[in-house]
Structure 1
Amino acid sequence: MPSATASQDEKSYQSRLARFWIPSLTVLMASVLYNWIPLHRGGNQAQASYIISGSFKSSSLYVLRYDRENKKLEVVQSVPGHGPHQYLYVDRPNHRLYVTSWKEPPHLSAWSIQVGHPGGVHPRLSLINQAPITAVSSYITSKHGLLFSAGGPTGEIHQLNQDTGAIEEKLQELLFVPAEALHNEDKSRKALRNGSHAIEISSLDEVFVPHLGHNSIWVYNLNSQKRSLEFSSEVKCLQPGDGPRHSVISEDGRRMYVITEHTSRVDLYHVTPSGIVHQASSSVIGEPLEHSKYRGDTVRILPSSFLDSSTDHEYIFATTRGIDYSQHGQLAVFKYDMNTGTLDNLIRWETQTSGGKANAIEFSHVKLVWNKVELVLTDDEVGWVSILECDLDKRIVTVISSCLIDQEGIGASHAVWI
């Protein structure tokens, strides 16, 4: 017959075991739930994404919060800026924002994006510095600690401070006019209509500048040791008066897509060691002969990581604006088949307004399920910023949520996800 002491020892052991295992099991279950339900971390904040938008009619920058669960988009902060800011480039890993401005004298601005700051609920923007440039710039991009900009008669390369993100020394100035003519050239935002308009750098360190007035693409190679661009070639567009406005390059650096402002067409070029060669074209609008009613705007390539299926094709999104407020703009989606070399239109969707000077798009960095794509669209006519969802399988575009960035008429220019 067991003794009373042995029974008490067993109960004591079981009690100690329970005190150890119950908390451990609780932690384990919490960990499993944390990893199985990532969208619920931190409550509603984890369900949200943030967007920063510029404006053509206000000097401010606007921070917007998109609540994905409740499908609600709202402005949470208006930050006094140095605009109107027409284009934004976000450096997500380093939480920095670089913006162009129509304000004169011409300049670029660098901002820090402070996330999770003490006592803060939403991201906060703080100006790092400004840097003077020769002519008002339109588009900007960054790579290798350098900031590339282009607009009108010139383009520039600036060094970026690795620690602070500040725009520092100008390393090079690109000229799209003879040097002796630069002094008399228009350097205001009006020069963007007939000058260089955008600049993009590929994964192979080739740089492309669409030039509206010259009706051509200027191609450069980046010399990483000298930290400067070396001119390679100038390639004319397919037709006189096309007006190349914006270009994007595929992830492997082998394909470039260009949207033309005056003919609202997307042209595909193969990038070869000897230059760029035209491969295919497709119209953004349903009636190509009616291109005088539109102005081609933005082109984007959907990242391959967003695709559920094989990577023998890629999707290209492009927009065009109405020539005036009576003509709505359009969003088009194309599919490039790498096996056949064809560029086919899948979707044409009429935007809510003409888009004004905007109708710019950017993809969210959140991957949705079932081949759906989330993107932001800006409107300069009324001032809408809209979240769109594109179903690539059903070939439909849906407006999920919209809000005004300011009072009606203060239009949005370009918005980026942070």
Structure 2
Amino acid sequence: MARQALDSSLAGGWSASSWLGLSGNESRLTFLCGLFITQLLLSEYGHRMTDHAGIYIATRHTAHLTRLVPRIHPTTIKRFTMRKVLLLAAAVGCSFGLPVQAATFAYISSPADGLISQYRLDEQSGALSLVEQTKAGDQVNPMAISPDGKALFAALRSKPYQVLSFSIEPATGHLKPLSQAPLAESLAYLSTDRSGRFLFGASYGADLLSVQPIDAQHRPSDSIETYKTGMHAHSVRTDPSNRFVYAGNLGVDRVLQYRLEPKDGKLVPIGEGFVAVPDNTGPRHLAFSSDGRFLYVVGEMSGTVTAFLINEKTGALKQVSQADGIPARLKLAPGQARDARNNDLKDDPTPRIWAADIRLAPDGKLLFISERTTSSVSVFKVDPAKGNVTFVENYPVEEKQPRNIAVSPNGRWLLVSGEKSDKVGSYAIGASGALKRVSEAPSGKGALWIEMLSQPDK
């Protein structure tokens, strides 16, 4: 009967879905569920409902449906037309079936023009639109969003090296300058601890990690603690428990491991202070499983993903899996460590592996890495229980030299920025990880870093 009612309404030229601004299978399912619920209500109480009661149901939140009976008029009998039933069904369906709307924003830094571009992502369609661009400063590069989603930090890689902080306006995502503070060196990576009290940095050129406090107003301190590393530190992040800190030390093929002192942010080496990976791996960026049991590391020079089990008590790493993400058909030679003076290896025409970023889907079952030489993204399947990674496929992307990628909060879309592209792309993620480009938006020059944030849409 519900299906007949829906077909009848659509045949008559009226659509509850379009009237409510809904579309696709989700709206149809929501509508049918709502219609079914409404029919149950009408069969029980319909002969005693007034228009007043109907309007009440259609406009109040689901939580208030328990007040339905007191609103039923005991003496007035009024029949509901099919149109009223359909309107009521749509309203109830929306109340039961639709999630709270959220605004999803992406922030992308572009060093060549000193801009941070803000985008809005439609998490239902994958459509990406440029909202505004904020002038940050020359060579703005790595960024981090505070754990509470209220501030964005951006590092400048031109002298004098500084970190800028911006407040993020709720609902609109607008950036408003807050403060600036010195940095120890030019940073290739920026992150905060999970409490938002400490700012971490990794310097590729100066071979060091840095830690500086962040106050309650999201302003980094001038006080900086530094830790010497091997050649080319490339990333630094805290684990989900906020007890341990790990860093990719590309030039010496090590993943550094520390215990975080919560009082002052000091880093204490775990064991020898590192675990080694095979020569010429080039451990670069890191990703954690949501439960904090596993750490995944992309090798810039090998194109591999290495999975480590994190000891729950000590934080010590133990390798459990490794998978190659570069298929033979790409015909790439092993990569080399690069420096700013020869980043593109202009004196070496050999196409070489040049992997960059790594991102894990929210459900922990798919993992993505970017490869710059071939402008592609490799997809891996992950066993969340054991941490094992398995290569699935490599997909070309339109963004040339993709330095950074990001997965949307709902896990349905992958954003890709290209250092040599004037656009940023949005790709639909299939059930097996297959990528299909669905949208694009203009980017700044030399687009690099991507940070994403989802906020209630007020």
**Same fold flag (TM > 0.5):** yes
Moved over 6 A (4+): none
The total of aligned residue pairs comes to: 348
CA pair 317-238 structure 1, distance change in 2 beyond 3 A? same
Q: 1:96 is matched with which residue? A: 151
Structure 1 residues 168 and 337: alpha-carbon distance in aligned structure 2, compared to 1, 3 A threshold: closer
Q: Secondary structure at the match of 2:333?
A: helix
The question of whether the paired residues in 2 share the 8 Å contact of 1:384 and 1:411 is answered with no
Residues 1:314 and 2:360 are matched in the alignment = no
1:278 pairs with 2:278: no
Of 54, 70, 74, 2:129 maps to 74
1:416 equivalent to 2:451? Answer yes
Q: Is 1:26 matched up with 2:26?
A: no
Picking from 23, 26, 35, the partner of 2:95 is 35
Shift of 1:361: 1.4
Displacement after TM superposition at 1:258 (Å): 0.8
Let me know the Cα RMSD of the aligned residues.
2.6
Query: 2:184 & 2:137 partners in 1: Cα distance?
Result: 17
Aligned partners of 1:93 and 1:22: how far apart in 2? 45
Distance 1:77 1:136, change over 3 A: same
User: What is residue 191 of structure 2 aligned with on the other side?
Assistant: 141
Matched residue, 1:290: 333
1:138–1:403 CA distance, 2 compared to 1 (3 A): same
**TM-score, normalised via structure 2 length:** 0.69
Which residue of structure 1 aligns with residue 377 of structure 2?
A: 330
TM-score (norm 1): 0.76
| Matched residue SS, 1:213 | helix
* C-alpha contact 1:47 1:69 (8 A) present in aligned 2: no
Aligned ranges for residues 127-166 of structure 1 at < 5 Å?
A: 127-143=177-193, 144=195, 145-152=197-204, 153-162=207-216, 164-166=217-219
| 1:362 aligns to 2:409 (yes or no) | no
Give me the whole-angstrom Cα distance separating, in 2, the residues matched to 1:28 and 1:92.
38
1:222 corresponds to which of 216, 236, 260: 260
The 5-angstrom pairing of residues 50-89 of structure 1 reads 50-68=105-123, 72-89=127-144
Q: Which residue pairs with 1:246 in the alignment? A: 285
For the residues of structure 1 that align with 2:435 and 2:283, how far apart are their CA atoms?
Answer: 26
Show the counterpart of 1:299: 358
* Residue number in structure 2 paired with 1:379: 418
For residues 214 and 50 of structure 2, the distance between their equivalents in structure 1, rounded to whole angstroms, comes to: 53
Partner of 1:172: 225
CA contact (8 A) 1:49 1:68 kept: yes
One-letter amino acid of the structure 1 residue matched with residue 211 of structure 2:
I
SS of the residue 1:294 aligns to: coil
**The 10-residue stretch of structure 1 (329-338 or 137-146) with the greater mean CA deviation from structure 2:** 329-338
Contact 2:182 2:222 in 1 (8 A): no
What is the distance in 2 between the residues matched to 1:366 and 1:71? 11
State the alpha-carbon separation in 2 of the partners of residues 132 and 402 from structure 1. 35
Structure-1 separation of matches of 2:290 and 2:55: 45
Name the CA shift for 1:92/1:219 in 2 (closer, same or farther; >3 Å).
closer
| Residue pair 1:285, 1:330 contacting (<8 A) in 2 also | no
How far is 1:251 from its partner? 2.6
- Tell me, yes or no, if the aligned pair for 1:99 and 1:109 is still in contact at 8 Å: yes
Cα distance in 2, alignment partners of residues 223 and 217 from structure 1: 19
Indicate which of 385, 392, 397 corresponds to 2:431: 392
- Residue 23 of structure 1: CA displacement? 4.9
Q: Is the 8 A contact 1:47 1:67 kept in 2?
A: no
Q: Output the CA distance in 2 between the equivalents of 1:217 and 1:69.
A: 38
**Following the alignment from structure 1 to structure 2, what is the Cα–Cα distance between the partners of residues 92 and 207?**
16
TM-aligned CA deviation for residue 294 of structure 1? 2.4
CA distance in 2, matches of 1:176, 1:238: 16
Q: 1:259 to 1:68 in 2, by over 3 A?
A: closer
Q: Which residue of 2 aligns with 1:199?
A: 236
Is this contact kept in 2: 1:337–1:343, CA < 8 A?
no
Shift of 1:267: 0.8
Segments of 5+ residues of structure 1 without an aligned counterpart are 1-19, 117-121, 178-193, 305-312, 368-372
Letter of the 1:320 partner, please give it.
E
Return the offset for 1:38: 4.3
Distance 1:134 1:112 in 2: 23
More strand by share: 1
Distance 1:38 1:169, change over 3 A: farther
Tell me what 1:180 maps to: none
Give the match's secondary structure for 2:372. strand
Matched residue SS, 1:93: coil
Deviation at 1:100, TM superposition (A): 1.9
Cα offset, 1:47, TM superposition: 7.6
- In the alignment, is the contact (CA less than 8 A) between 2:126 and 2:427 conserved in 1? no
- Deviation, 1:79, is 0.9
TM-aligned CA deviation for residue 111 of structure 1: 0.7
**Residue in structure 2 matched with residue 111 of structure 1 by the alignment:** 166
2:57 maps to amino acid = L
